[in-house]
């Protein structure tokens, strides 16, 4: 069974292909993958055709159609007409273009997520009083170019496991220090991960040995602090957080902590990626944690 869960603010509804469900959706009419290529081109005098020197994928456009089947909700205390009126208001609030929402799509082989915004209030069909049903059509926009896997994957580097190691050598070593990790991107598209650097007495860096790309942090991260870096091109960011004993609080836009010689294209390519954190001390927390989701160009 396929289903689509839509969440916005404190509201949630589940659409399924069960013909007896309150919120029925024919997934053969679902359009989740509409996007276009955007091309930067130039024309040269006396040249046949054009030269394309840059290409990107546009935002996603999604259309969903569903049916409110009020008879599946109605009972002696809530007649069909009452249910219809109640859900007209509910869908207007849930699918308000002023509010972002999250789609969680359960297809036959995977679960995918996408943040979206309705482009308008739902287009409402005519109420069928004989069947107690209303058809709806809703269009959505997403500034993401692709769906993502629901599972958040992670790997950690720069940590110690174990106590005193044998045979004893000098200087004495406590435990084994793990500076590297393998991050597996099981999709076909490149992924731009989130990096979290924890407190460290050294200026640290992370290198993807598979691609040869490196990000260097040119300041030390203090106790009870962490630096969170979004590596997505054209949207790269770095924010410093500090723990006040109760929660993490953002204290600084620290994009300038990333050195100028760092890559602006730090990606996980399809397959295994060998990651190494450099100049990390052996603190209680991993020097660096990397998090990512699988990218799906279509669902």
Identify the H or E element spanning 93. helix 80-94
Per-residue pLDDT of the chain (299 residues; tens, 9 = 90+): 899 999 999 999 999 999 999 999 999 999 998 887 777 888 888 888 888 877 777 788 999 999 999 988 988 888 888 888 999 999 999 999 999 999 999 999 899 999 999 999 999 999 888 888 999 999 999 988 899 999 999 999 886 655 434 343 444 344 455 688 999 999 999 999 999 999 887 888 999 999 999 999 999 998 899 999 999 887 899 999 999 999 999 999 999 999 999 998 999 999 999 999 987 665 667 889 999 999 998 88
Whole-number pLDDT of residue 56: 74
Same domain, 195 and 140: no
Nearest-angstrom CA–CA distance, 299 and 258: 35
Same domain, 113 and 224: no
Same domain, 121 and 7: yes
Same domain, 58 and 158: no
Q: What spatial distance separates the first Cα and last Cα of the chain, rounded to whole Å? A: 15
CATH assignment at residue 222? 2.60.120.860
| Cα atoms found within 13 Å of the Cα of residue 51, Cβ hemisphere only | 7
Q: Which of 134, 149, 164 corresponds to the end of one domain?
A: 149
As given in the structure block, the two tokens for residue 203 are: 């200026």
Instruction: Give, as one character, the DSSP assignment of residue 167.
Output: S
Name the strands in the sheet holding 153-157, side by side, starting at the edge strand that comes first in the sequence. Answer: 153-157, 288-292, 194-200, 221-230, 237-243, 248-253
Q: Which of 149, 168, 185 corresponds to the end of one domain?
A: 149
Q: Which of 126, 149, 172 corresponds to the end of one domain?
A: 149
Write out the residue range of the structural domain in which residue 130 sits: 3-149
Same domain, 26 and 140: yes
Same domain, 223 and 109: no
Same domain, 96 and 200: no
Same domain, 157 and 144: no
Same domain, 7 and 143: yes
Q: 206: which residues sit within 8 A by CB, 6+ positions away?
A: 157, 195, 214, 215, 266, 275, 276, 277, 278, 288, 290
Same domain, 126 and 157: no
* Structural domains counted in the chain: 2
Nearest-angstrom CA–CA distance, 190 and 243: 33
Nearest-angstrom CA–CA distance, 173 and 287: 18
Same domain, 12 and 138: yes
CATH assignment at residue 68? 2.40.30.200
Instruction: Give, as one character, the DSSP assignment of residue 220.
Output: P
Same domain, 112 and 11: yes
Whole-number pLDDT of residue 283: 61
Backbone angles phi, psi at 276, to 5 degrees: -135, 130
């Amino acid at each position: 069974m396929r289903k689509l869960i839509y969440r916005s603010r404190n509201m949630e509804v589940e659409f399924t292909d069960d013909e007896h469900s309150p919120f029925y959706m024919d997934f053969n009419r679902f359009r989740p993958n509409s996007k276009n290529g955007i091309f930067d081109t130039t024309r040269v005098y006396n040249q046949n055709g054009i030269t394309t020197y840059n290409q990107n994928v546009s935002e996603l456009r999604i259309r969903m159609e569903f049916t409110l089947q009020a008879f599946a909700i109605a009972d002696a205390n809530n007649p069909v007409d009452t249910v219809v009126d109640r859900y007209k208001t509910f869908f207007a609030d849930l699918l308000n273009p002023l509010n972002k929402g999250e789609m969680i799509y359960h297809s036959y082989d995977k679960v995918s997520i996408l943040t979206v915004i309705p482009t308008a209030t739902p287009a409402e069909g005519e109420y069928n009083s004989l069947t107690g049903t209303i058809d709806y059509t809703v269009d959505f926009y997403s500034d993401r170019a692709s769906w993502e896997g629901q599972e958040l994957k992670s790997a950690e580097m720069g940590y110690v496991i174990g106590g005193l190691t044998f045979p004893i050598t000098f200087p004495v070593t406590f435990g084994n220090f793990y500076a590297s990790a393998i991050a597996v991107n099981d999709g076909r598209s490149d992924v731009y991960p989130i990096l979290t650097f924890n407190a460290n007495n050294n200026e640290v860096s992370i290198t993807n040995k598979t691609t040869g790309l490196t990000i260097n942090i040119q300041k030390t991260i203090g106790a009870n602090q962490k630096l969170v870096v979004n590596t997505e091109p054209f949207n790269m960011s770095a924010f410093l957080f500090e723990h006040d004993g109760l929660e993490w609080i953002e204290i600084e836009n620290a994009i300038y902590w990333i050195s100028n010689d760092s890559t602006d294209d730090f990606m996980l390519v399809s397959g295994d990626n060998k990651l190494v954190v450099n100049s990390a001390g052996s603190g209680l927390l991993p020097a660096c944690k990397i998090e990512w989701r699988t990218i799906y160009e279509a669902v």
